[in-house]
Amino acid sequence: MRDFRDAKAMAKALKLALEQDGAEIAHTRALEIVARQFDFPSWNVLSSKIETQEDKPAIAFEQAVPIVRIFDLAKTQEFYFDFLGFSLDWEHRYGENFPVYMQVSRGGLRLHLSEHAGDATPGGNMCVYMKGIRAFHAELTAKNYRYMKPGLEKSDDRLEVTVTDPFNNHIRFMEIVGA
């Protein structure tokens, strides 16, 4: 499907097709006809839109997915699944007796958890912006996790719940609430 960025080629094709049928029009007239087909009042308006689109860089960033170093699968499952409520998306091992690399997620947040020595350094720190932090805090408190009792802290214009996994990785969940 062609769009307005293909307007020059479309005008050229229109001009050639009309010439084959014995009707000749100027190239500028073909450009004006194509502009009106895209609901632009003139070729000048359409061409400025094309230039604007061509000047934009084709760069777009998507969600970052942190890699978190882990050492003990049972402790990982207890903390990330049972306490924080993440779900396992997938896991990978190169063989039966190899370290695990997995993706876990919850509510749009994805983390990669890795037992591989070179993937991340234990003791990392990340900030996760979220909505519904009061409900999240109540959920964590209700689980009565024996190794952590996180508080709900107000700091300037945000609420924060900070947790530390069994491998000393820190996650600060934050919601902007205003002053």
pLDDT score recorded for residue 1: 43
Residue 84, burial from CB neighbour count under 10 angstroms (0-12, 13-18, 19+): buried
Is the pLDDT assigned to residue 21 strictly greater than 80?
yes
As a whole number of angstroms, the distance between CA 6 and CA 138 comes to 55
Confirm if 173 and 155 have CB atoms less than 8 A apart.
no
Please, what are the domains in the chain?
4-55 (no CATH), 67-176 (3.10.180.10)
Q: What is the pLDDT of residues 60-99, one digit of tens each?
A: 788 899 999 999 999 999 999 999 999 999 999 999 999 9
> How is residue 4 annotated by DSSP?
G
Q: What is the pLDDT of residues 107-131, one digit of tens each?
A: 999 999 999 999 999 999 999 999 9
The average pLDDT across 29-42 equals: 84
Confirm if 106 and 87 have CB atoms less than 8 A apart.
yes
What amino acid occupies position 76? T
pLDDT score recorded for residue 32: 86
- The pTM score is 0.68
What DSSP string runs through 85-121? --EEEEEE-SSTTS--EEEEEETTEEEEEE--TTT--
Is the pLDDT assigned to residue 41 strictly greater than 60?
yes
